[in-house]
Structure 1
Amino acid sequence: MNSLSPMRQGAPAFAHAAGDIEVSFEFFPPKTDKMDAALWETVQNLAPLGPRFVSVTYGADGSTRERTHATVTRIAHETPIPAAAHLTCVGASKREVLEIAQSYWAAGIRHIVALRGDPPQAGQRFTPHPQGFANATALTAALKAVAPFEISVAAYPECHPESLSIQADLDNLKAKIDAGADRAITQFFFSPEAFLRLRDRAAAAGINAEIVPGILPAANVAQTRKFAAQCGTAIPPWMNRLLEGLDEHPETRQIVAATIAAEMCMKLYESGVRHFHFYTLNRAALCHAICHLLGKTPAAYTPELAGATGM
């Protein structure tokens, strides 16, 4: 069923959030020392929530390859958090991509987020490297042949903008799962019904792997609208109305963004969702607030492990 099933029967919105959820977080590799310090503060703030894993993104043209590797290995070695590295098909041969994968395995990284990747220039269509992987399905199969990686892939509640149809998009998701992916993490969305429809279609197509909703708190209105336009995500009119006029009011914007995202997560929770993946943009406050509203509070954590390594 894709209909929402409220549990609260007039109770406060988050009264039934029992904290029985799992969370994961996405970061991007820092470009400067100041950004590096900010990222590690974010990691430190979110670590007590006991994330299932965290992932580190990879530049569209492979431009962040070294920084991604450095960030993900540092998280893996200096914190108790399982770390996942993004890896794409863009701008590299099969040999180069698999050498990167082998280096991750050697560094103790056991989880890869396998993506086709976006073209270096926005608006261009993806063109495979002449000796590269054509898509994430081929990349997933090759990674499984390298080592028994845990592999996450992408899913699109509102259809990938380059897909010919919703069915073609679903067929592509199934191909990635059949190639060995362990789960799918969705592109962000702002309508819980969009995720629930995808979940229902996937189940009907025989996709048994976990599908995790990707959550983007809309703290930066202009940036959120830009991201949404690039990936075909619809921003509902009511949400546009709520975000309008907040550019000069950052504190209010944060509160509104956290409220919108938390309410959507609660609706998903009421429909059985128990794992949420947050696109943090390397900021902790909103994600921490949303998790708190869902009942996810700091778990047992070993601060001496972080403290010993300078976190």
Structure 2
Amino acid sequence: MNRAAEIALSDHAPLFAEARGDIAVSFEFFPPRTDAMAETLWRSIETLAPLRPRFVSVTYGAGGTTRTRTHATVRRLIRETGLTPAAHLTCVGASRMEIDSIARDYWALGVRHIVALRGDPPEAGQAYAPHPEGYANAAELVAGLKAIAPFEISVAAYPEVHPDANCPDSDLDNLLRKIDAGADRAITQFFFSAECFFRFRDRVAAKRPGVEIVPGILPVSNVGQTRKFAGQCGAAIPAWLDQMFEGLDDLPAARQLVAATIAGELCGQLYAGGVRQFHFYTLNRAELAYAICHMLGVRA
């Protein structure tokens, strides 16, 4: 073997060659709107449950619009599975009294983990405005939840800066306020650059050593849908991602393969950089998250 070949092999070792089953994962789902969507969701939950996730989170629609369906999904998770549910809870559209009541109901139901978020306005393009009798932001919400019960609390982080933040430093300060209020970890919005995550992790560690920062992974199979999500959370979609999916509109199996390859490579880079915990935005579909977990050594 010539020297060029040796260098090529050393620089491109299999991304998952060192994955030794030392990884913890969690999954995010959203509450279904129809019976057909509910069937898809529960098939996905049944597929992913054997991977023994740390927790599974259930989202809360903009302005609390899915409140009832979120509660129903969490209740069913507790009653019918051995999974640990983490219920999303937001500040938007509710008073402190209402939110505190919801939190107490969750605790009585057996929920011990909350994903505490400021939340998005119910209509796209609206500016965020706190409820006049509500929690002003996620840091206040975290403190309020901790005063009610010893919840485990996850909060959101933005490696590429929240769209409402006026600069990276103020965005970081906002995250640290949530941590100081009692949050146990931060889960990032999705991103497509491992370097971006590492830079963000280093900035947090420089201010608050030891904070658990979990990368949020979105396996992409629909670029248009992903672009919509990215606009809401400030994530950048690189040009090469668009190019990867060109010509695959009518080839769903090929899209799945490309999506798994892209997300798998990102996870491999993160693993090589010391990441051992991953949170997958499943969009209520199990196949891509399951395949990537399998490559990472997380198996039933």
* TM category, shorter: over 0.9
Map Cα deviations across residues 274-306 of structure 1 (whole Å, 9 max, x no partner). Answer: 0000000000000000111111111xxxxxxxx
| In 2: Cα distance, 1:237 partner to 1:16 partner | 30
Q: Which residue of 2 aligns with 1:39?
A: 41
> Counterparts in 2 of 1:15-164, with a 5 A limit?
15-164=17-166
| In 2: Cα distance, 1:120 partner to 1:245 partner | 35
Q: Which residue of 2 aligns with 1:285?
A: 287
Name the stretch that deviates more: 81-90 or 237-246: 237-246
| In 2: Cα distance, 1:229 partner to 1:243 partner | 19
Q: Retained in 2: the 8 A contact 1:174–1:207?
A: no
SS at match of 2:132: coil
Q: Retained in 2: the 8 A contact 1:177–1:207?
A: no
| In 1: Cα distance, 2:10 partner to 2:295 partner | 14
Deviation of 1:13 (Å): 2.8
Deviation of 1:12 (Å): 2.3
| In 2: Cα distance, 1:13 partner to 1:183 partner | 26
1:217 aligns with 2:219: yes
Map Cα deviations across residues 166-189 of structure 1 (whole Å, 9 max, x no partner). Answer: 000110000000000000000000
SS at match of 1:217: coil
**Aligned pairs, number:** 292
Q: Which runs of 5 or more residues in structure 1 are unaligned?
A: 1-6, 299-311
Deviation of 1:221 (Å): 1.6
| In 1: Cα distance, 2:231 partner to 2:179 partner | 27
1:295 aligns with 2:262: no
Structure with the bigger percentage of helix: 2
Name the stretch that deviates more: 215-224 or 11-20: 11-20
Q: Which amino acid aligns with 2:250?
A: E
| In 1: Cα distance, 2:209 partner to 2:41 partner | 35
Higher relative contact order (CA 8 A, sep 6+): 1
| In 2: Cα distance, 1:75 partner to 1:129 partner | 30
SS at match of 1:61: helix
Q: Which residue of 1 aligns with 2:246?
A: 244
Could you tell me the percent identity over the aligned residues? Answer: 66
Q: Retained in 1: the 8 A contact 2:205–2:211?
A: no
| In 1: Cα distance, 2:196 partner to 2:188 partner | 11
Q: Which residue of 2 aligns with 1:302?
A: none
| In 2: Cα distance, 1:62 partner to 1:231 partner | 18
TM-score normalized by structure 1? Answer: 0.92
Q: Retained in 2: the 8 A contact 1:214–1:278?
A: yes
Map Cα deviations across residues 218-277 of structure 1 (whole Å, 9 max, x no partner). Answer: 011210111112221111122221122222211111110111001000000000000000
Map Cα deviations across residues 150-172 of structure 1 (whole Å, 9 max, x no partner). Answer: 00000000000110110001100
Q: Which amino acid aligns with 1:281?
A: L
Map Cα deviations across residues 90-128 of structure 1 (whole Å, 9 max, x no partner). Answer: 000010011000000000000000000001111111001
| In 1: Cα distance, 2:179 partner to 2:268 partner | 27
> Counterparts in 2 of 1:135-284, with a 5 A limit?
135-284=137-286
Q: Which amino acid aligns with 1:68?
A: T
| In 1: Cα distance, 2:182 partner to 2:15 partner | 38
